[in-house]
């Protein structure tokens, strides 16, 4: 009895499963009906959700990409601004260096011009003396005659010789080799020491014109004229 009941229950269950399976298959194959409509609506809703998620994902990726592009653009703009500022700074530094170089060159040129002018001014008296040397050196005659010829070179008239002649006659007798043993004065004008006359020429020990030229320069600078020197000689015994 129990065994028969078990078999009946199993057969009934199998039939129920078969019927359920058939119903499910029929529901899937039916072209219309509430079950089909519900299944179709569910499928359509799932597709829409998937598309919306895809679109949202695409929008999200595009926004991120756009942020990256914006950041890249900002970086490039900042880099270009930095490069421009560096270029302007380099250009300004180069201009400043060029201006400093030009100023230094101009200062050097001005210093060189000033030095040349100073050297020329310092050489001018020597050149004037050198210009006078040929006239004195070419003067001929006795020491007195040479002295008379030189008076005009110092702006004196010939009357000054009346004072010069006794002055140097008293000092040296117009002798180029005259030497004072006590003082060491030498030559026609009795230069002390005699080597002072080297400023008038290297032949100061033997050349009358060189000694006379130095003596007249000394008289002009110290007494103004031969008569002034002679007056001092007469008053004090030396000049």
**Chain centre distance of CA 34:** 98
> Is the domain of 150 the same as that of 173?
yes
188 and 172 Cβ atoms separated by less than 8 Å = yes
209 and 139 Cβ atoms separated by less than 8 Å = yes
> Is the domain of 125 the same as that of 154?
no
Domain boundary among 93, 112, 138: 138
Q: Please report whether residue 72 resides in a domain.
A: no
pLDDT at position 209 is 96
Q: Please report whether residue 104 resides in a domain.
A: yes
216 and 147 Cβ atoms separated by less than 8 Å = yes
Token pair in block for residue 131: 């210009």
> Is the domain of 111 the same as that of 192?
no
pLDDT at position 82 is 85
> Is the domain of 112 the same as that of 158?
no
175 and 105 Cβ atoms separated by less than 8 Å = no
Q: Give the number of domains in the chain.
A: 2
pLDDT at position 134 is 44
Domain boundary among 121, 138, 155: 138
pLDDT at position 172 is 96
Q: Please report whether residue 33 resides in a domain.
A: no
pLDDT at position 61 is 61
Q: Please report whether residue 67 resides in a domain.
A: no
Q: Please report whether residue 4 resides in a domain.
A: no
Q: Please report whether residue 157 resides in a domain.
A: yes
pTM (two decimals): 0.44
181 and 104 Cβ atoms separated by less than 8 Å = no
For residue 207, the enclosing domain spans: 141-236
Q: Which residues contact 189 (CB under 8 A, 6 or more apart)?
A: 168, 171, 172, 197, 211, 212, 214, 215, 218, 219
Domain boundary among 114, 138, 162: 138
Q: Please report whether residue 34 resides in a domain.
A: no
Instruction: Give the number of C-alpha atoms closer than 13 A to the C-alpha of residue 5, restricted to the C-beta side.
Output: 2
Q: Which residues contact 123 (CB under 8 A, 6 or more apart)?
A: none
Nearest-angstrom CA–CA distance, 223 and 172:
19
pLDDT in tens, the chain (239 residues): 445 444 433 433 444 434 344 334 434 344 444 444 454 555 555 545 555 565 555 556 677 777 777 777 788 888 888 888 888 888 888 888 888 888 888 888 888 787 777 777 766 554 454 445 444 444 668 999 999 999 999 999 999 999 999 999 999 999 999 999 999 999 999 999 999 999 999 999 999 999 999 999 999 999 999 999 999 999 999 99
Q: 10 Å Cβ neighbour count for 167?
A: 23
> Is the domain of 164 the same as that of 118?
no
Token pair in block for residue 66: 């756009």
Q: Please report whether residue 48 resides in a domain.
A: no
pLDDT at position 177 is 96
Where helices occur in 138-225 by DSSP H, the ranges are: 143-150, 161-171, 208-222
């Amino acid at each position: 009895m129990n065994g028969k009941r078990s078999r009946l229950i199993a057969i009934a269950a199998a039939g129920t499963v078969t019927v359920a399976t058939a119903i499910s298959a029929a529901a899937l194959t039916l072209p219309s009906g509430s079950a089909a409509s519900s299944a179709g609506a569910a499928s359509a809703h799932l597709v829409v959700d998937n598309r919306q998620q895809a679109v949202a994902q695409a929008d999200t990726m595009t926004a991120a990409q756009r942020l990256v592009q914006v950041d890249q653009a900002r970086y490039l703009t900042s880099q270009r601004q930095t490069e421009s500022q560096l270029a302007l700074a380099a250009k300004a530094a180069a201009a400043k260096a060029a201006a400093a170089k030009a100023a230094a060159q101009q200062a050097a040129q001005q210093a060189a011009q000033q030095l040349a002018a100073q050297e020329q001014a310092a050489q001018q008296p020597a050149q004037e003396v050198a210009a006078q040397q040929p006239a004195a050196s070419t003067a001929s005659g006795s020491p007195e005659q040479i002295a008379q010829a030189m008076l005009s070179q110092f702006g004196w008239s010939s009357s000054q010789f009346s004072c010069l002649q006794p002055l140097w006659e008293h000092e040296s007798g117009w002798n180029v080799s005259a030497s004072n043993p006590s003082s060491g004065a030498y030559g026609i004008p009795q230069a002390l020491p005699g080597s002072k006359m080297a400023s008038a020429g290297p032949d100061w020990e033997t050349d009358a014109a060189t000694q006379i030229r130095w003596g007249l320069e000394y008289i002009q600078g110290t007494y103004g004229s031969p008569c002034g020197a002679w007056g001092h000689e007469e008053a004090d015994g030396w000049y």
